[in-house]
Each structure stands twice: as structure tokens, then as C-alpha cells.
């Protein structure tokens, strides 16, 4: 949003700021965006589906508009209703968060057509990066290394098999329009290729409406390291360093950290430069992330570019001291980045755990339902981005992520201890969460020594491993027994009270059994 003020000194367009934005999302990310908007004195408009009527993001917004029924297609994916909500409320811009319409070029175009600013990249850049084989081509042209692989034209079965043999097994069949690990199949031998192509293609068709798949060399136990970039509309592009996201479950990140424990200044420079080249090659503006796989020799390969704010952006914020949402809004409003590459600096270490409403003891089965009680951690170096509160019912319709717990400290090991402390303070009842799972991972010697890879969980996590959380369960039992014994003694003999104050025990008991 730029206006020109007269001639001479003021003839360059100068940027103005939005007075109201609509957040086309829900949950923690809607709350996250609202917080920055409020700090910038920008009014916020929430949108909600039927089951989200009482959600935290609705409660925190200045205004809220209903979209319709709970399924996403009727609400958070319904472009007409969201655009209408923006127009009726007088919002000048839309922040899409992540997921839903965040990487939908058609939505960004429709915003533009209606004179509403889309807080994100230009639609063309989204299209270029949204099709993974086009993005790989562009990376190769920009001199950025890519994982060996094919384009989307695989021809008949025999041609696909030849291509796979040329690359060398194991290979990965991937959806060209991919995301969220959907349409991805690992193939270890030629006889499995045809069925993997069929399965991946039909999964891609139902998830993305596009059945195209391609082949990629499967790298053994790589690290996933991604770079945050920021680009303004005046040709400035910088990177804000990396995030290590190698702790994944089913190819989806669950713990992220910054900096990567294997990062060196030289590697950061070359990967950062590659990320900036990718952004420039696709005419990028706003915040984006360039993802790489890194092998044990520290060779890096472009994986894809995510054209939105990432779930894991807080770890970069904690270490750089920058507010990425503020930067996004400023860039969308036409303001300059106000930051050169030399001015970006990193301090300390940050870690993020994505807490899901899932039961780790039952194969991570979703566990939606009423949050009967909740006590969220805080204290030094702890940040929690959440979209929940006590008494809120986690709906079945959407991604079951409840919150992102982030810790910062001077060193990685202090950030880990702080995370374990914060996870230990977290109390949530009524639903199962992945908190005990994280405590098990954080305590693992290989995690502590930063021997990370994308197959870490597959290799090292056993659901029956004792987690620090389980010790507390034993404590519950012990306190329960002590209470009972004390009570029995007191009432049987009518005289001896338990040595521990019953009130103290009662408090601990209630706390722990939640």
C-alpha cells in the first residue's frame, strides 16, 4: 500500500500502514498474528467456523465474522466467504497464517482483484514454488544443488523404472503439488515401484487435485535444515539463518531448533546465499523458507520453498530478536526491510516442541475433546504460542496442534533443560497430548549430543521407554498412598495426623492427577 506525496523530497512512494487486517486462519497462528497487529495498533478481524465460535482467536480479536459450517471447505477454505468478511469489516489486508489458503495463488490473486492486500508473496512466486518439479528446475538454473531426481513426466512403467535405476534405489516417489508428506512413498527395490507410483499418485489426486508425481533419490538419514528469508518490494532480500527440523514423525517436523548444531559460519553463508538466490529467482517478496536436506558430509540439496510463515518461525524470532509477523506486515504495506544482511545477528539457542492433542501411547491417535484443566508453563526463556484455554473443546475438524512451546537460552543444552522444565510444568487434563513423548526425546543421549537425522524417531523412539512424565505418575501413586495411609491412621486412631500436612499433600495430589 503505497502513496505518493507530492514532488521533490517526497516524490518517492512512501508507505502507509494498514489500520485493520483480517486473519484468515484459526488457532495458535491466528492468535500469534493478532498479537503483533495489536502491538502495531492495527485492528484485527477474526473469522471462525461454527465449532470455533468460542475459540481463543475469536475472543482476542477486535471483531469476528462467522464463515459457516465446521468442515474447512465450508469455512477456512471458503474464499468467497473470507473475502466477503474482509469487505464487510473494512479490512485492508488479509494475513493467511499457514495452511488453509496461505499458499493458494488463486486466493492471493482474488485478494488483489478486490483491492485487498494479501500479506504474503506475489501469486506468481507461489505458483512457481508450489509445483515442486518447477521449483527444482529453477533451483538448478540458479546454481543451487538439488536432490537427484526427475521431472513430473515419468512416461510408462518401463521408463519410470529406467529413471529410477539411473538415480539408484532407494528412491522416493513424491507428489509434484506435495505438502504435509502426502503422496510420498519410499521404494527400496524395482518390483515395488509400479504400486508406489499408483498409490502416491492417487493420494496426490485426492489431497491436491493433481496426480503428478516424480522421483527423487532417497538420502539416507539426512538432516532437514531450512533457511528463513525476507524480501521487500524494493529489491532487498536477506536470510535470517537456519532452523534444524530433523526431528520428524512421518516426515512432519515435531521439534525444531535454531541454530542447527552442525552449522558453521561457512556453511551458513553458502546455504543462506543459496536461499537468497532461490527467493530472487522466483521474484519473491515477504517471508519465505527455503528447505534443504543436508548429508553427513555437509553437502546440501534444495528440497522445496514454503511461501508463507512457517509453524516453526518462533525459534528464529527468539534467536534473531526480530518479529517476523511485523516484518511481513511492514513488507506487505510497502515498507523497506530496514535490515541488511550484515545487521542480522544470532544470539543463544532456541527450541520448539509442537504439542498435539494426540496419544503417544496409542500410536499418536488424535485425542480431541474438552480441556478440563490447564496450567501453561512460563518463567525465564519460555514462550508459548497456543490457541487453547481451560474449558475449550478441541474440535475434531482440524489439525490437532494445540500449542507450540518454545524455549531460549544461552546454549543448546540450557535451552533443552529449560524445555524439559517447561514441559514438566505443563498440566492439561481431559485430552491426551504429546508432552510425555517430547520429554522422552529430550532425554535421549543421541538428542542431547545432537546426532540428529530425519529418521531419528524411527531409529530411537520406543513408546514404552520411560519418560520423565511417567516418574510423576509414580509420584501420583505414592502421594495417593501416603494420603490414604495418613487419613486412615488419623481416623482409625482418632489422634495421629500424617506427618506431612494433609493440605500440602492434597494440593500435590490434585496437581499431579490432572
Residues that bind ligand ADP (CB under 6 A): 147, 172, 178-181, 184, 216-219, 222, 224, 248, 251, 291, 293, 303-304, 454
Specify whether the CB–CB gap between 187 and 193 falls below 8 A.
yes
Q: Do strands 213-217 and 252-258 pair parallel, antiparallel, or not at all (unpaired)? A: unpaired
Q: Which is nearer to ligand ADP, 220 or 411 (CB)?
A: 220
Q: Classify the C-alpha dihedral 167-148-223-104 as positive or negative.
A: negative
DSSP 8-state assignment for residue 173: E
Q: Which is nearer to ligand ADP, 251 or 421 (CB)?
A: 251
- Find the Cα–Cα–Cα–Cα dihedral 174, 179, 182, 184, rounded to 10°: 20
Please state the closest distance from residue 132 (CB atom) to ligand ADP, in A: 7
- Structural element, H or E, at residue 231: strand 223-231
Q: Which is nearer to ligand ADP, 112 or 252 (CB)?
A: 252
Specify whether the CB–CB gap between 415 and 348 falls below 8 A.
yes
Q: Identify the CA nearest to 463 among candidates 366, 367, 365, 360.
A: 360
Question: How many C-beta atoms surround the C-beta of residue 194 within 10 A?
Answer: 13
| Residue 427 among the catalytic residues | no
Please state the closest distance from residue 311 (CB atom) to ligand ADP, in A: 11
Specify whether the CB–CB gap between 372 and 510 falls below 8 A.
no
Set 136, 308, 354, 383: catalytic member: 308
Q: Which is nearer to ligand ADP, 211 or 222 (CB)?
A: 222
Q: Which is nearer to ligand ADP, 99 or 222 (CB)?
A: 222
Rounded CA-CA distance 173/216 in Å is: 7
Rounded CA-CA distance 84/67 in Å is: 9
Rounded CA-CA distance 206/44 in Å is: 34
Q: Which is nearer to ligand ADP, 83 or 254 (CB)?
A: 254
Please state the closest distance from residue 185 (CB atom) to ligand ADP, in A: 11
Which residue carries 469489516 as its cell?
Answer: 89
Q: Do strands 93-95 and 117-118 pair parallel, antiparallel, or not at all (unpaired)? A: parallel
First and final CA of the chain: distance in angstroms? 50
Rounded CA-CA distance 281/229 in Å is: 13
DSSP 8-state assignment for residue 402: E
Cell of 196: 508406489
Cell of 457: 524417531
Q: Which is nearer to ligand ADP, 254 or 388 (CB)?
A: 254
Specify whether the CB–CB gap between 202 and 195 falls below 8 A.
no
Instruction: Name the residue whose CB lies closest to ligand ADP.
Output: 454
- Find the Cα–Cα–Cα–Cα dihedral 127, 246, 358, 61, rounded to 10°: -50
Q: Which is nearer to ligand ADP, 55 or 200 (CB)?
A: 200
CA distances from residue 195 to 161, 164, 459 in whole angstroms, order as listed: 12, 14, 26
Rounded CA-CA distance 189/169 in Å is: 6
Please state the closest distance from residue 299 (CB atom) to ligand ADP, in A: 13
Q: Which is nearer to ligand ADP, 216 or 359 (CB)?
A: 216
Please state the closest distance from residue 224 (CB atom) to ligand ADP, in A: 4
Please state the closest distance from residue 167 (CB atom) to ligand ADP, in A: 10
Please state the closest distance from residue 292 (CB atom) to ligand ADP, in A: 9
Rg (CA), the chain: 25
Q: Which backbone phi and psi does 72 adopt, to 5 degrees?
A: -55, -40
Q: Which backbone phi and psi does 25 adopt, to 5 degrees?
A: -160, -175
Please state the closest distance from residue 233 (CB atom) to ligand ADP, in A: 27
Q: Do strands 252-258 and 349-356 pair parallel, antiparallel, or not at all (unpaired)? A: antiparallel
Cell of 421: 522444565
Please state the closest distance from residue 249 (CB atom) to ligand ADP, in A: 10
Residues classed as catalytic? 308
Amino acid at each position: 500500500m503505497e502513496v505518493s506525496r507530492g514532488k521533490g523530497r517526497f516524490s518517492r512512494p512512501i508507505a502507509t500502514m494498514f489500520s485493520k487486517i483480517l486473519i484468515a486462519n484459526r488457532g495458535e497462528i491466528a492468535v500469534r498474528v493478532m498479537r503483533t497487529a495489536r502491538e502495531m495498533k492495527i485492528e484485527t478481524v477474526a473469522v471462525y467456523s461454527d465449532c470455533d465460535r468460542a475459540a481463543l482467536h475469536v475472543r482476542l480479536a477486535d471483531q469476528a465474522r462467522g464463515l459457516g459450517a465446521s468442515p474447512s471447505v465450508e469455512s477456512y477454505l471458503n474464499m468467497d466467504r473470507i473475502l466477503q468478511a474482509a469487505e464487510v469489516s473494512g479490512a485492508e489486508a488479509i494475513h493467511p497464517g499457514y495452511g488453509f489458503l496461505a499458499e493458494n495463488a488463486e486466493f492471493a490473486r482474488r485478494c488483489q482483484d478486490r483491492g485487498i492486500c494479501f500479506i504474503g508473496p506475489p501469486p506468481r512466486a507461489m505458483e512457481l514454488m508450489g509445483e515442486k518439479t518447477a521449483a527444482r528446475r529453477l533451483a538448478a538454473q540458479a546454481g543451487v544443488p538439488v536432490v537427484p531426481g526427475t521431472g513430473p513426466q515419468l512416461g510408462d512403467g518401463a521408463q519410470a523404472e529406467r529413471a529410477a535405476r539411473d538415480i539408484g534405489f532407494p528412491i522416493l516417489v513424491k507428489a509434484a503439488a506435495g505438502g504435509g508428506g502426502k503422496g510420498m512413498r519410499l521404494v527400496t527395490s524395482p518390483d515395488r515401484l509400479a504400486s508406489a507410483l499408483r498409490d502416491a499418485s492417487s493420494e496426490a489426486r485426492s489431497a491436491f487435485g493433481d496426480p503428478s508425481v516424480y522421483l527423487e533419490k532417497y538420502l539416507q538419514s539426512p538432516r532437514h535444515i531450512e533457511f528463513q528469508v525476507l524480501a521487500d518490494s524494493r529489491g532487498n532480500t536477506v536470510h535470517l539463518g537456519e532452523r534444524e527440523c530433523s526431528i520428524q514423525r512421518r516426515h512432519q517436523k515435531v521439534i525444531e531448533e535454531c541454530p542447527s548444531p552442525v552449522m558453521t559460519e561457512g556453511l551458513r553463508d553458502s546455504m543462506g546465499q543459496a536461499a537468497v538466490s532461490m527467493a530472487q529467482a522466483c521474484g519473491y517478496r515477504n517471508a519465505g523458507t527455503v528447505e534443504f536436506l543436508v548429508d553427513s558430509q555437509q553437502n546440501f540439496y534444495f528440497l522445496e520453498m514454503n511461501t508463507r510463515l512457517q509453524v516453526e518461525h518462533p525459534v528464529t524470532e527468539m534467536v534473531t530478536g526480530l518479529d517476523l509477523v511485523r516484518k511481513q506486515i511492514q513488507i506487505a504495506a510497502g515498507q523497506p526491510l530496514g535490515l541488511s544482511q550484515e545487521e542480522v545477528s544470532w544470539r543463544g539457542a532456541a527450541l520448539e516442541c509442537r504439542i498435539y492433542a494426540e496419544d503417544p501411547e496409542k500410536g499418536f491417535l488424535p485425542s480431541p475433546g474438552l480441556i478440563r484443566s490447564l496450567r501453561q508453563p512460563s518463567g525465564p526463556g519460555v514462550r508459548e504460542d497456543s490457541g487453547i484455554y481451560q474449558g475449550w473443546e478441541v474440535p475434531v475438524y482440524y489439525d490437532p496442534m494445540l500449542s507450540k512451546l518454545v524455549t531460549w537460552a544461552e546454549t543448546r543444552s540450557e535451552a533443552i533443560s529449560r524445555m524439559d522444565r517447561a514441559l514438566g510444568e505443563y498440566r492439561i487434563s481431559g485430552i491426551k497430548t504429546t508432552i510425555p513423548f517430547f520429554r522422552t526425546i529430550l532425554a535421549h543421549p543421541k538428542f542431547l549430543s545432537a546426532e540428529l537425522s530425519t529418521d531419528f524417531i524411527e531409529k530411537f523412539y520406543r513408546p514404552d521407554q520411560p519418560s520423565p512424565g511417567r516418574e510423576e505418575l509414580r509420584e501420583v501413586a505414592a502421594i495417593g498412598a501416603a494420603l490414604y495411609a495418613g487419613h486412615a491412621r488419623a481416623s482409625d486412631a482418632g489422634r495421629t495426623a500424617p506427618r506431612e500436612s494433609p493440605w500440602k499433600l492434597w494440593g500435590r495430589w490434585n496437581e499431579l492427577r490432572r
